[in-house]
A and B are shown apart, each in its own frame.
Chain A
Amino acid sequence: MKISVCIKQVPDVNAPIQIKEGRLIQDSDRNILNAYDASAVEAALVLQEEHEIDEIEVVLIGPEKAKETIRKALAMGADKGTHIITEDGISYDSFAYAQLLAAYFKENEYDYIFCGKQSQDTDSGLTGSMLAEFLSLPYSTNAVGLEMADGTLTVKRQGDAGQEVIEVPSPGLVTCSNDMNDPRIPSLKGIMQSKRKPVDTVSVSDMDIDLSDESIKTKITSYEEKPERKAGEKFEGEPDEIARKVAQLLDTEANVI
């Protein structure tokens, strides 16, 4: 059995961000493995510890420098990487990402595809289920738990009414929440080993896919600061007194009681 995990390099949302003339200026040294993808890698590794999973592949679309993020996943324990290399400075929307991934998976084998449920920077959460549809795969999004029996996955997903327990046959696709595990931190040994693990590269231009304007369906036109919420009043002192005071203010000043 083979599990392929789609991963993405994203800017660290905790790093300082500036906006200049509607454009986002980020510290490019602070790029990380998308936390939801890290959970997807972790979930695959945990399954591999208990089941016959021959290979965990990580697949990343991104510019040359995003290779460091593939190494990170390999250092965690994934077996091999595939890097779909994009030109610097070109950005795709979810639809284009999903099309690229679909073109890759149509030519390559897998039993299950895991994705993060969303990307930490854009929070769109579209790529996984788009990819499933392009490949006509059964899928479940927002997994908060995974189990495997006889080569079939049972997914616990967070739904509106409660947690839905769903069987997703193979080949199938699952998008993972980061609520289900704490991704392991690569050990020194893992980091050393990752350097010897294979990473295949494919360039977008070599793929059998036409990413003309047609497939870029949405574009970001500008960014702006969020209107800042101002800190209100902070009450310190005798717990009894300040608690009563705030309760009264909620009634008389804020009018929300």
Chain B
Amino acid sequence: MSTLLTYISVNDGKLKRSSLEVLSRCNELAEEHGHQSDALIIDPNASEVAEKVKAYGPSTIYTIEDPIFKNHLNTPLLKALATAVDQVNPDVLAFASTESSKDILGALAANQNAAALADVSEFDLTNDGVKAKRPVMAAKIISSVESAGYPTILTVRSGSYDVVEKSGDSEIKEIPFSFDEGDLKITLKEIIGATGDKIDLSEAETVVAAGRGAKDEEGQKLVEELASLLNGAIGASRALTEAGIYDPSLQIGQTGKVVSPQLYIAVGISGAIQHVAGMANSKVIVAINKDPDAPIFDIADYGIVGDLYKVLPPFIEELKKIKGNS
């Protein structure tokens, strides 16, 4: 039987929703085509994490457990993935699109002589590979792509599929693995500005994003107040991450993260295509911009034309009232 294998991303012991989205899609495809859907966890506490993955119903959960996976390092991760592919022999190996998976996708494909499809928004099986859709040209256009041969390795944009829980008896199998630190090709010196327990941008239900229009302290304070009131994550345009005002991990767009929240509020963002590439799939978009012709208004469901310093205080006040009443 053919196997679809989903790599489960873990952040500090927490499952990344985006990888459960991918697993749910693989479960669905497996059922449709009479295949098997398995999961793979590579983590210092993989067996603990495996217990949590059971709720999403993969047939087998493969684990590779080693302290070396505490931080992202491409050399051991590639070796572990190659080991898992050898053992499981999947037709498809699917990842959520994260910085870590982007770091190794190409190298793993080269290592396995396999087809790779990056950042797809839809995928399905063909007779001898995968067909998928990918946004291209800064997400202005959708391309249909096909791969031939197994395994096909792909990464999936967050928000492309729903997470569906599934009961079933998952079997947990540990894959033996060892890594000699002397084989590390690169050396990790330090991790700066780890985002820790802040709300994960690519998984947030609400995102409040700040652009150049909100570049001073007062603007940031308003954006932060709005985000915390809505229990949302803060994001930013490149104008603000480049200026060092927000951490680069908060950048949304072609270069940064892809987000797909229920509510996206763009504060002082013009709506350049490279920014829109990362947020156009938000369910409801609100834009606040003083320029009535800003391109962001072309995709906003609710556009507020005005100075953010004058608009945000009454907006926040009204939302507080609404939250208090509900």
Contacts and interface: CB of A to CB of B under 8 A. Distances in A.
Interface stretch (A40-48, A137-145, A204-212): A137-145
Interface stretch (A105-113, A188-196, A241-249): A241-249
B315 A244 contact: yes
A125 B284 contact: no
A162 B144 contact: no
B322 A257 contact: yes
A232 interface: yes
B148 interface: yes
Given A123-B118, A179-B242, A249-B302, A161 B72 contact: yes
Contacts of A154: 189
Contacts of A246: 286, 302, 304, 315
Nearest to A12: B137
Contacts of A225: 141-142
Interface stretch (B20-28, B35-43, B45-53, B100-108): B100-108
Interface string B132-171: 0011111111111111110000000000000000000000
A172 B102 CA distance: 18
B311 interface: yes
A28 interface: no
Question: What band does the interface of chain B fall in when counting residues whose beta carbon is under 8 Å from A?
Answer: 35 or more
Contacts of B148: 217-218
B228 interface: no
Contacts of A222: 143-144
Contacts of B249: 158-160, 162-163
Nearest to B241: A179
Nearest to A126: B106
Given A130-B106, A162-B195, A236 B305 contact: yes
Given A220-B144, A224-B144, A239-B307, A160 B106 contact: no
The interface residues of chain A, by DSSP majority, are classed as mixed
Contacts of B319: 247, 250, 257
Contacts of B255: 117, 177-179
B106 A129 contact: yes
Interface string B88-100: 0000000000111
B141 A144 contact: no
| Residue from the set B78, B102, B187, B251 with the largest chain A CB neighbour count within 10 Å | B102
A120 interface: yes
B207 to A, nearest CB: 11
Interface of B: 9, 11, 71-72, 74-75, 78, 98-100, 102-111, 114-119, 131, 134-149, 185-195, 206, 230, 238, 241-242, 247-249, 251, 254-255, 262-263, 273-274, 277, 280, 283-286, 292, 297-307, 310-315, 317-319, 322-323, 326
Given A163-B248, A166-B187, A229-B299, 4 more contacts: A134-B110, A165-B190, A231-B299, A232-B285
